[in-house]
Structure 1
Amino acid sequence: MSLDGWNLPPVREGRAASDELDARRRGTAAYRQDPEPGVTVRQELVGGVPCTFLEVPDPALTLLYFHGGGYRMGDAAGWLGFGSRIALAARARVVLVEYRLAPEDPFPAALHDVAGVYDAIVAAGEDGDLAPFVGGDSAGGGLAAALTVAARGAPVPLPSGMVLLSPWLDLTVTKPTYDSNASTDQLISKKSLREAAEIYLQLHDPGDPLASPLFADLSGLPPVLLLASCHEALLGDATAFAGRAATAGVPVQAHLVPDVPHAWPAIDPTMPESQEAIGTIARFLTTRALEA
């Protein structure tokens, strides 16, 4: 996979996953959701990276979506239901990217993978002059933001927009909401985030903007839709990024929702708030596609 002009750090050797992490990865299979009727699912290598395409008839746009899991867990199969609901609501081609995971492949392997897919999708030009959108939840949201920052200096157009759901944007793990929302976030904690950051970074600087895009120069980036729970540990990451982006002149839509869990639309599709979030995402994508 050639990424000439992207100016990414070189890929590094990692280490083997622990038995505990292997078991946790296998355990996530129990939470997988089937794709919605009316969505065609196919697998394809894009830029040498395995991807799952969720297709609807005559798609109006493409969304590259990166799953969560702290850069160490997760796969495309776990996001088939969520991705297919976005595809139907936004008349979108949703591409779930199977980026490499740590500790076997630490930073910046995942960034190389998503950049390679983005580069290849842009070159294919299936949506004419409309650049793909990028999005993700949790670590995948951080990866989408990092990709956008990296694309600014690469020989490709910037994404048409970013969809960031409960994004993890600061791998220094220092935001006050890691503590203040500890009792209301049942899914992630400061301890688990610190462990995930160590596994992913493996001594790389956590302040690197390509690892923690909160610290990047955000000027000139495309519009961003940001959704976060008022009661999750990563609330501080989301609000800090929204504030810095707005100050830099980036159009920002921030939706902070009370009494929902981390990454709720991907986790529980039955919640009314999840259905509302799908509508919000679809409106953002379709409106931006018309404006671009």
Structure 2
Amino acid sequence: MVSVQAKVRMALLRASGQKRFYDNAKALHHRLPRHQKPSMARPPRKVRRRCDVERREVHGFPCFTFRPRDGVSSDLHVLHLHGGGFVEQVEKHHWKYAADLVSRLGCAVTLPVYPLVPHHDHTATIPMVQAVYDGIDARRVVVSGDSAGGSLALAIAQDLRAAGRPQPERLVLYSPWLDVLLEDPVSELLDETDPMLGIAGLREAGRMYAEGTTPHDPRVSPIHADLSGLAPITLFIGTRDVLLPDCRRFRSRAREAGTELDYREYPGMFHNWLMQAIPEGREAMNHVERLLRRPVNAPSEPGRGSSPTPG
């Protein structure tokens, strides 16, 4: 049963015109400036009041780390990579997500403002977020990412494996964008009911992000990656999301690779609903909190809408 609050949120998303940004390539390019305002690249005042905020630059781009004002009581550090199709700047719900994790867990959360297309592509974005990861000194490091950020989280994990380096404790993926071409025909059908994303615009953003390589490059489209040897993964996806078919394919590929996957599919939910103030969002984030509090090798806890895949 989809909550009234979720239905209202989906109606507001449709009314806001968010989906029109991804209608087609022309619409995306026309609306880019309002989605890349410089003012979006710094934490809102409300977040700065809640947390101790440290700013540094990595590869010439700002990177913010949030900690409890009374000192970090946890040994956990979360690196979160924001979504937005590689074309949208950090949004208010991303900053709030970082502050909420700090409040819930007493941990540190780092959120980089990474390079965006069309001014940059994957050759700038992936090295920047990898450098952010390399600069984190903590006993427990978890990498989370929503939408395009989920792709970046998997790129970091692949690069660590290629270098023979240890994996993060866990990857947490929220509505991850796993195939920049969105080649699964079922995605075309879901485009009609997705209140937020549109396939044509996403493909244009993905084309620009993949410039200089094939869109099938596993670091660009992790649906094509070898998933063996990666950190345990938790993946959230809703059934109204055009990215759903690729997440289901990812679940099958992870099972074949023997990778531990805690797969959570929520009926009726839209893209990245976890960061919205609705009951389903709070429920999913409660699971994330329990997961990150749990000892590393503790078994996953089944929950609503979940289909955990054993490693």
TM-score range, shorter chain: 0.7 to 0.9
The equivalent of 2:129 in structure 1 is 114
**Contact 1:46 1:120 survives alignment (8 Å):** no
Q: 1:152 aligns with which of 161, 168, 179?
A: 161
Which one is further off, 44-53 or 89-98? 44-53
Alpha-carbon distance in 2 for matches of 1:174, 1:213 = 13
The equivalent of 1:22 in structure 2 is 33
**Contact 1:35 1:80 survives alignment (8 Å):** yes
Q: Does residue 283 of structure 2 align to residue 284 of structure 1?
A: no
Deviation at 1:233, TM superposition (A): 0.3
* TM-score (norm. length: structure 2): 0.78
The residue identity in structure 2 corresponding to 1:51 is C
Higher helix share: 2
Secondary structure of 2:154's counterpart equals: helix
**Contact 1:86 1:92 survives alignment (8 Å):** yes
Aligned length: 265
**Contact 2:78 2:144 survives alignment (8 Å):** yes
The equivalent of 2:51 in structure 1 is 39
Alpha-carbon distance in 2 for matches of 1:48, 1:23 = 22
Which one is further off, 106-115 or 176-185? 176-185
The equivalent of 2:85 in structure 1 is 70
Alpha-carbon distance in 1 for matches of 2:280, 2:260 = 23
Q: Which runs of 5+ in 1 are unaligned?
A: 1-16
Counterparts in 2 of 1:76 and 1:111: CA distance versus 1, 3 Å: farther
Percent identity between matched residues is 31
* TM-score (norm. length: structure 1): 0.83
Secondary structure of 1:108's counterpart equals: helix
Secondary structure of 2:127's counterpart equals: helix
Deviation at 1:109, TM superposition (A): 1.1
Structure 1 stretches of 4+ with a deviation exceeding 3 A read: 17-20, 26-29, 46-49, 288-291
Deviation at 1:117, TM superposition (A): 0.9
Q: 1:53 aligns with which of 44, 54, 65?
A: 65
Q: Does residue 234 of structure 2 align to residue 219 of structure 1?
A: no
Which one is further off, 200-209 or 36-45? 36-45
**Contact 2:180 2:207 survives alignment (8 Å):** no
Residue by residue over 1:66-105, the C-alpha shift from the partner in whole angstroms, topping out at 9 and shown as x without a partner, is 0011111122765110111122223321100111111111
The residue identity in structure 2 corresponding to 1:240 is R
Q: 1:143 aligns with which of 144, 147, 152?
A: 152
Q: Which runs of 5+ in 2 are unaligned?
A: 1-27, 299-311
